[in-house]
């Protein structure tokens, strides 16, 4: 009876994590057609750095990092691979629906705040190339993350949670940050290559800082999951 309760909790937790994972991944794709400036600057060896420019789609990624780590830890590399493929398919599905919606003329009502054809297609038209780039980057980075996480855990056992979590994220997001911006913005014609080479490193550095700052939350997440799965009263 105790085993059944634990298995049921594991199933419900997995469903919740997958739902949250997919929601954040799809949301990141839909909002990525917007650049933001980080009002942060500092001097490094006499060289002034900042303010920095990146895509707004970076907002949901801390949640994706955290969920990827928890699924890797409690459900294994195979589960992460499957969820990654399913998420990529769902992002592609979103891409198809958005594409179809752009080809349906808007019924414009004078004086309303609803989007007209031009404004709607301007926002979601660029998102198409961003989504293509994101699907490629997402799959490569997630599969690499799962592999590196599993490799580090195999070498260190249950020690050094921060190492397998942060280490796998730093490596996978290095690839993700460059692929998505290149396909989505450079090939899409929105950025020049020189602009890309300024934004891509910033995007990666921000993800790196986020991954490092998430370390306490990773340990908290591990504690809460272990407690939830262990106590079945």
Q: Which of 16-25, 162-171, 212-221 has maximum average pLDDT?
A: 16-25
Share of the chain above pLDDT 90, in %: 7
Return d(Cα 187, Cα 174) in angstroms, integer: 19
Return d(Cα 12, Cα 5) in angstroms, integer: 11
- Overall average pLDDT of the 12-33 stretch: 88
For 107-123, the pLDDT digits (tens) are: 877 777 777 888 888 77
Return d(Cα 192, Cα 8) in angstroms, integer: 51
Read off the pTM: 0.78
Return d(Cα 31, Cα 43) in angstroms, integer: 31
Close Cβ partners of 70 (under 8 Å, ≥ 6 residues apart)? 17, 221, 222, 225
Question: What structural domains and CATH numbers belong to the chain?
Answer: 2-106+113-230 (1.10.1760.20)
How many CB atoms lie under 10 A from the CB of residue 181? Answer: 29
Share of the chain above pLDDT 70, in %: 90
For 137-179, the pLDDT digits (tens) are: 778 888 888 888 888 888 777 777 777 777 777 777 777 778 7
């Amino acid at each position: 009876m105790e085993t059944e309760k634990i298995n049921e909790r594991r199933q419900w937790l997995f469903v919740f994590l997958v739902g949250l994972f997919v929601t954040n991944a799809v949301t990141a794709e839909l909002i990525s057609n917007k650049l933001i400036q980080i009002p942060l600057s500092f001097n490094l060896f006499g060289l002034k750095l900042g303010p920095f420019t990146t895509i707004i789609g970076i907002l949901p990624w801390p949640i994706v990092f955290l969920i990827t780590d928890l699924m890797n830890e409690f459900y294994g590399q195979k589960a992460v691979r499957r969820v990654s493929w399913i998420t990529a398919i769902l992002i592609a599905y979103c891409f198809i629906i958005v594409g179809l919606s752009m080809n349906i003329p808007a019924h414009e009502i004078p004086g309303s705040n609803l989007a007209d054809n031009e404004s709607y297609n301007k926002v979601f038209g660029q998102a198409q190339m961003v989504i293509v780039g994101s699907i490629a980057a997402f799959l490569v980075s997630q599969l690499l993350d799962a592999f590196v996480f599993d490799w580090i855990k195999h070498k260190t056992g249950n020690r050094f949670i921060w190492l397998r979590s942060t280490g796998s994220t730093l490596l996978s997001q290095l690839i993700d940050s460059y692929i998505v911006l290149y396909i989505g913005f450079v090939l899409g014609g929105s950025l020049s290559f020189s602009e890309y080479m300024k934004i891509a490193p910033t995007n990666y550095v921000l993800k790196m800082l986020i991954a490092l700052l998430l370390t306490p939350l990773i340990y908290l997440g591990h504690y809460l999951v272990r407690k939830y799965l262990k106590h079945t009263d």
